[in-house]
Amino acid sequence: MRFDPPDDPSDYPYVHPVRVRFCETDAMAVVHHAAYLAYLEESRVAYLRALGHPYDEVRAGGVEFPVLEVAVSYRRPLRFDDLVDVHVALTSARAATFQMDYLLRARDRAETCATAVTVHAVVDSQGRAARVPAWLRALPRSAEAQKD
């Protein structure tokens, strides 16, 4: 895993809005750290849907994308009722794994609240390693990843 997601929203080909719910916050109305994982998943699934590959169809096609690793860097707190833009980019794809980067920005404050990375395996319906689908390998990469 490489943990250096870009801070520039223009480096991400997709953005998904998420509204912070009260149940995701603590007594200070700050989002609990675990809630960020759900924001990443919701945004990743929405990205696949927007690409014409809804995750239920991906699964029906015989592959799954389980998370192998996740890292989140919390910079500024998200709070109850914030509208959060979750920017998503595929940054690398290997034979049977891929990595996605995320930038979470509170829309009304226009500030970066978190960055994140997820690494996924590609497995078949029996849980055995499978090749990353060609359509996924062909996704646009973030500008930061293209510098490599």
Quick check: 146 pLDDT over 70? no
Residue 20 vs residue 145, higher pLDDT: 20
9-142: CATH topology is Thiol Ester Dehydrase; Chain A (3.10.129)
26 has catalytic annotation: yes
pLDDT band, very low/low/confident/very high, at 140 (cuts 50, 70, 90): low
Q: What share of the chain is helix, strand, coil (3-state, %, to 5)?
A: 25, 40, 40
Residue of 124, 133, 57, 127 lying closest to 94 (CA atoms): 133
Query: Do 103 and 7 touch, CB atoms closer than 8 A?
Result: yes
Nearest to 11 by CA among 141, 136, 119: 141
| Active-site residue (options: 26, 56, 81, 124) | 26
Residue 143 has pLDDT above 50, yes or no: no
Quickly list DSSP for 43-99. Answer: HHHHHHHHTT--HHHHHHTTEE--EEEEEEEE-S--BTT-EEEEEEEEEEE-SSEEE
Q: Spell out the residues 6+ positions from residue 116 whose beta carbon is closer than 8 angstroms to its own.
A: 5, 36, 40, 70, 71, 72, 73, 101, 102, 104
Q: Write the pLDDT tens digit of every residue in 13-28.
A: 999 999 999 999 998 8
| Banded model confidence at residue 76, pLDDT cuts 50, 70, 90 | very high
Q: Which two tokens stand for residue 18?
A: 């998420």
Task: Compute the mean pLDDT over every residue in the chain, rounded to the nearest whole number.
Answer: 92
Q: Is the pLDDT of residue 81 over 60?
A: yes
Rounded CA-CA distance 8/34 in Å is 24
